A and B are shown apart, each in its own frame.
Chain A
């Protein structure tokens, strides 16, 4: 993955979109598009920050065919687009040798929650497309409401911190493992701070026949409450604390792509930069922090075990 060579490629997500300064979503989207090296691609977005802010009427930042339908059905919409392509090719309306890729993108709201059913159906039917979840861990676009992806103890507007309740009471849903249960050819977890890993995974995902899924961590400046220049650092810390392990599952074989080993950082190193976790720094909430840490460690051990480590 040579950045100098990649920088000669055409940008297919243009400037002028209205995502917040420092947003991770366009970082991830650009990496995905560059991993295609100019191959034709049809993109679909579920309702969410990326969809809203890149296509404020009458503008679009996309230089690819692009479609938005609703919150819950980007996977269904894209499975329809992919099927239409196959049928038109069969009927000779699209040349046999013309290869077109299909990319569906959803946030955690559109993927972990609202679109899970249509995504599951798409994977089960075996459509030849790539689904990428950009997980910013809440309904950030509508004003920071908790989702099933929001981490334990994180404050959102629907899981606030007060005298009695201290942020979200439930643990984050392990969506990547849920997707792995569909036994599709390719599943991975990636982070935009490690673009080599993310883009290699994207290349693999686009290359396989059948459905592929990549879950990416997408730090959110206003939702997580950190300084706008720390987006890359928040992604790195999510990985180095083992909150967001980097792994891939090729034909049901799990592989760990990165192990911080002795350099594994405590979860507080990630939390302390984020306003949504501010209360965890208080001595009286130590129990919560310990519970969060124990859960991260437990999940990390589980992932390592799947990967045969």
Chain B
């Protein structure tokens, strides 16, 4: 949206693109990162329903992945997982492991 002049702003402040908040990535807010442990996961999708940020992605009714572009690292998915299949790591720790 940046770079538009006021003349191009829709009348009434209407936002014409539904769901365009996706252009704003909130993943940088995160200081803790959820890590999925596939061996333990029973694909109950509890993490999916509790995530406030739609950052648990499902595929065909199963856990697929975390969307780290938006995950704010709140930890509710890990707190509610019945199988301890989500481990919270500090972002620093996780980034160090990424580099390895």
Contact = CB atoms under 8 A, between A and B. Distances in A.
Contacts of B44: 3-4
Contact of A15 (B15, B60, B67, B74): B67
Contacts of B74: 21-23, 221, 228-229, 231
A54 interface: yes
A8 B48 CA distance: 11
Interface string B57-89: 010111000010110111110111000000010
B50 A27 contact: yes
B55 A15 contact: yes
Nearest to B45: A3
A18 B21 CA distance: 9
Interface in B15-56: 15, 17-26, 29-30, 43-46, 48-55
A18 B26 contact: yes
B52 A229 contact: no
Given A8-B61, A21-B72, A228-B74, A62 B48 contact: no
Contacts of B49: 3, 6-7, 27, 30-31, 34, 195
Residue of B45, B73, B76, B80 with most partner-chain A CB within 10 A = B76
B53 A17 contact: yes
A62 B21 CA distance: 8
Nearest to B55: A15
Nearest to B2: A58
A232 B60 contact: no
Interface in A227-278: 227-233
B21 A26 contact: no
Contact of A3 (B48, B52, B53, B88): B48
Residue of B22, B26, B46, B53 with most partner-chain A CB within 10 A = B53
Nearest to B73: A21
A229 B48 contact: no
Nearest to B30: A21
A59 B61 contact: no
Contact of A54 (B21, B62, B88): B21
A228 B74 CA distance: 5
Interface of A: 3-8, 11, 13-27, 30-31, 34, 54-64, 192, 195, 221, 227-233
8 contacts: A4-B62, A14-B54, A16-B22, A20-B72, A22-B76, A27-B51, A31-B49, A58-B15
When A and B form their complex, which 8 residue pairs have the shortest distance between CB atoms, in order from nearest?
A229-B75, A22-B74, A16-B21, A4-B61, A15-B70, A7-B58, A21-B72, A3-B45
Given A5-B61, A21-B30, A27-B50, 6 more contacts: A7-B61, A22-B75, A27-B51, A59-B1, A63-B18, A232-B80
